[in-house]
Structure 1
């Protein structure tokens, strides 16, 4: 996934994305809202510091950031393996909905801690964030290995809260730090870094399935994966370097939030992101369990998540190419619409072919959609100095969707123990696992997210026409 970026990333983001010729139109289309929020920053590229755009330090930093993403968000994306193992073997006294809270809280912590880590990065705390975050991530993984069977709260605290917060400390800074070294190649390098999460989400499920469900068992299997993760994080910390000085003054999130609430297109985008997260986490958490409970070969089911994340990896790599031809809004709308339709297709999951087809296609189109989240918020932001804050706010809102993914599971289980979702709980899944109800619910919310993106584009079109009329009348 793309993640919120701090304002230190903005020092050299003074021009629109080269791959999206319509980005300047978005700024022009938002002319009226810009007047209410202040003047657009006019940054002269000649004033920007010289970027090496290569060299050992720059590429070493990019590789280190790749490894952080591989070991952090890539590990989180493998939670479907734990969901399957916990449900059927290790946490048999807990409901599927209760178990899903572990993964959802983990994802929520990563995204919600992001803005805090971004502000700390702005003030020059990159190395502190890396050291503390990596040490905590290793610590909580080893603590997870000590959890006993049916020790739900031990797993919830270590994997859900602890590991999520630790990854959140390193997630945003590693994406932002590559902007210290690259300008001309920044889009490519950032794509490479974020692809580390997708690569991790391919490798970790295969590794964890073979470790945990193999001879090593849960405790030793988690320790083995923790040892490998620790080694990769150490290499990453040794490779990464900052280059630009801290920002003299951090952007006011309060001011940006107040102005953003008056931007209807931005509000629609945030609501759409939150709704779409529900569908993403439903598939990511339940595809492997769904395939196993439909009687498919166990060894094949273990690779269902790897198939899904392979599609996601390809989607993220091609997202920039697709948006260069279609534009950012159309790419987001198209990919989210197709991904929403594929969630409904999970109703027909019965065979290896259907799992493969759903995994590849949903992974690909959701990968494009997820890969365009940060560019979409950049597209919607008229003031360059507010990009980091706006991305941070939007992803904090989207993190609610990761929890809502768990709330949707409340519909699936009549024995839910969480009072927050109790009023809407029903026997959607029951002990017989009626999957079509879950798929309809998640798909409907994801479709609602697509509708919000369409509203966003409609508002932008109106703004663009209004700005065009105003420019003709004033002769500007």
Structure 2
């Protein structure tokens, strides 16, 4: 009648006395409740000669307790407690099932990224227009580049403020603030006549709106997934790539046909409508997971692996910002027209839009740190060997633009990699610190690029070398992070089920160390050569 009736087996004689003592200590009304609900089965369950083992077969030769672990985990995932009969609902709230409404959340974050970061990526088109049209004759190229970097950096700088707001007013209201501020900033930018107007509107104002929108949603998707966390997160982040594709082409066409002011106003209307609709459908699982929304969690600062994670993002963002903001102006520098420049930016963003879900799917299969590191290395090599040597030809620059997925590998992997480093509960706090530090490359990457830019056909050679070095430095950082991860996995007693189902288990089980850590040189050697999935 009940699956638990098939899960009863005799206790060895050596364990009977301990079992009898436990039986005598049970409350009488607990026994009576079981008898009322299960009849003789309830009395049998309290017998000292038997004990209940969940989801096991009546096989007297099966004495391996680990053989039932996968089915126990399956029951727990579906809402049954490990000790409850199979098919019987626990009185506790049913645990969430992976995906479900989470796919709606993925779609919402996808559209939000398309109308925040994707829209921001079109600043490459704005910058090329500002530099070559004389729209702001009193502004230097560095100041104009600073506008795009300012919006980027402000969006990251306000991460602690957003982290502070979410547990107090909720995710949806915090997201709503960003939706309104971003649209208002674009409307304000349509009336600019001086450079300081542009700095306040398209720089600071747009950055504040984008920051509230982005930081409210960046940690939500990983809450809904475990085994497909990277894939789901990469689909969500692909929105910025596809949004950048659409807005790079659309913005150039709007500026050319209806002028700069109305281009800003149409962008404001589009972002407000789409982001507002997504805000209404957004749901998080902060309460269910007990997420820690503390802007500066002190324990995180003490962890060397966290700083390796930060340095990977720090150097990688230098390379990414220069790549995404410089392509349109680079096209003009080497002799391409404005239309070709917008096509380059569009191809770069198309590569991100298509490549990010693939990166997420592959990283779930082969390891999130592995794929993040490999993608960073490929971005550096593409910069050195494709952009430098083939970039003077339009076809060669298109090929480099198609490596945009690797150039922006930070975005689809930052959430899943961060969860492996600090755990899903501390992820909001860790990302708050992470984005705060990344304000530096976000602000100064493009001004540095225009500062070291020279003149002539090879004007961007120094910029290309600097970009490649940044990607290689980021790769070295995440390689050491991989060394740490492998070293930790060797010293923690995790079941096979834990390793397969929960990649951030290292951060949650540090008290379960069973042996001393291996030597650092041995770990570095293993981190370089082993094919272990991390």
The normalised TM-score by structure 1 is 0.77
Q: Offset of 1:204 from its aligned partner?
A: 0.7
Alignment partner, residue 377 of structure 1: 418
The separation in 2 between residues aligned to 1:379 and 1:52, in whole angstroms, is 20
1:32 paired residue number: none
Q: What secondary structure, in the 3-state scheme, does the structure 2 residue paired with 1:93 have?
A: coil
User: Who is 1:306 aligned against?
Assistant: 346
* Match of residue 365, structure 1, among 393, 406, 425: 406
Q: What pairs up with 1:39-54 in 2 under 5 angstroms?
A: 46=79, 49-51=94-96
Who is 2:211 aligned against? 168
Contact 2:125 2:248 in 1 (8 A): yes
Q: Distance in 1 between matches of 2:245 and 2:150?
A: 21
Q: 1:204 to 1:385 in 2, by over 3 A?
A: same
Larger RCO: 1 or 2 (CA < 8 Å, sep 6+): 1
Question: CA deviation digits over 1:351-389, x for unaligned, max 9?
Answer: 22111100002x1212444311221111112x5432221
**Structure 1 residue aligned with 2:360:** 320
Aligned partner of residue 514 in structure 2, secondary structure: helix
CA distance change for structure 1 residues 385 and 220 in 2, over 3 Å: closer, same or farther?
A: closer
Contact 1:66/1:195, CA 8 A, preserved across alignment: yes
Counterpart pick for 1:455 among 477, 480, 483: 480
Alignment root-mean-square deviation, CA: 3.1
Structure 2, gaps ≥5 residues long? 1-75, 80-91, 494-511, 518-534
Residue 232 (structure 1) aligned with residue 274 (structure 2):
yes
Of the two, which has the highest radius of gyration?
2
1:101 alignment counterpart: 146
Shift of 1:54: 7.2
What's the offset of the Cα at 1:227? 2.3
Contact 1:328 1:376 in 2 (8 A): yes
Shift in CA distance, 290/77, structure 1 to aligned 2, threshold 3 Å: same
Per the TM alignment, residue 125 of structure 1 is displaced from its structure 2 partner at its CA by 2.5
- The answer on whether the counterparts of 1:292 and 1:301 sit within 8 Å (CA) in structure 2 is yes
Instruction: Give the superposition deviation at 1:87.
Output: 1.1
Q: 1:88 aligns with which of 132, 135, 141?
A: 132
* 1:126 Cα offset (Å): 2.5
CA distance in 2: counterparts of 1:58 and 1:466, whole angstroms: 33
Distance verdict in 2 for CA 1:211–1:99, change over 3 Å: same
Partner of 2:380: 340
Contact 1:62–1:240 under 8 Å retained in 2? no
Distance 1:385 1:189, change over 3 A: closer
Once the two structures are superposed, residues 316-343 of structure 1 have per-residue CA deviations (whole angstroms, 9 ceiling, x without a partner) of 1111222234322221221111101222
Range with greater deviation from structure 2 (105-114 or 201-210): 105-114
Count of aligned residue pairs for this structure pair = 408
1:49/1:115 Cα in 2 relative to 1: closer, same or farther (>3 Å)? farther
Q: Which residue of 1 aligns with 2:393?
A: 351
| Deviation readout 1:109-144 (Å, 9 max, x if unpaired) | 112223322332223433322332211111110110
Task: Name 1:216's counterpart in structure 2.
Answer: 258
Equivalent residues of 1:63, 1:239 under 8 A apart: no
Q: Give distance in 1, aligned partners of 2:111 and 2:118.
A: 10
- Aligned residues of 1:202 and 1:305 also touching (Cα < 8 A): yes
Correspondence 1:387-406 to 2 at 5 A: 387-406=427-446
Q: What are the superposed Cα offsets for residues 296-334 of structure 1, whole Å, 9 maximum, x if unpaired?
A: 243222211110011111221111222234322221221
Q: CA deviation at 1:108?
A: 1.0
The equivalent position to 1:71 in structure 2, one of 115, 122, 133, is 115
Structure 2 residue matching 1:111: 3-state secondary structure: helix
Q: Name the stretch that deviates more: 383-392 or 183-192.
A: 183-192
Supply the distance in 2 between the matched residues of 1:107 and 1:182 (Cα, whole angstroms). 28
* Deviation by residue 1:235-278 (Cα, 9 ceiling, x = unmatched): 33444456775988954444x3x333332222122112101111
From 175, 191, 194, give the equivalent of 1:146: 191
Please report how far the alpha carbon of residue 210 of structure 1 lies from its aligned counterpart in structure 2 after TM superposition: 0.4
Alignment of 1:259-270 (within 5 A): 259-270=299-310
Task: Say which SS state the counterpart of residue 303 (structure 1) adopts.
Answer: helix
Give the whole-Å Cα distance in 2 for the aligned partners of 1:291 and 1:65: 32
Q: Distance in 2 between matches of 1:60 and 1:470?
A: 39
**Does 1:280 find its partner at 2:320?**
yes
Kindly provide the CA deviation profile for residues 29-69 of structure 1, in whole angstroms up to 9, marking residues without a partner as x: xxxxxxxxxxxxxxx765675447677x7665544433222
Structure 1's unaligned 5+ residue stretches are 1-43, 413-427
SS of residue paired to 2:335: coil
Q: Tell me the distance in 1 between the aligned counterparts of 2:412 and 2:238.
A: 9
2:26 match: none
C-alpha spacing 1:249/1:467, structure 2 compared with 1 (3 Å): closer
CA contact (8 A) 2:292 2:425 kept: no
- Aligned 8 A contact 1:63 1:193 in 2: yes
Q: 1:112 aligns with which of 143, 150, 157?
A: 157
Q: Are the counterparts in 1 of residues 160 and 432 from structure 2 also a CA contact under 8 Å?
A: yes
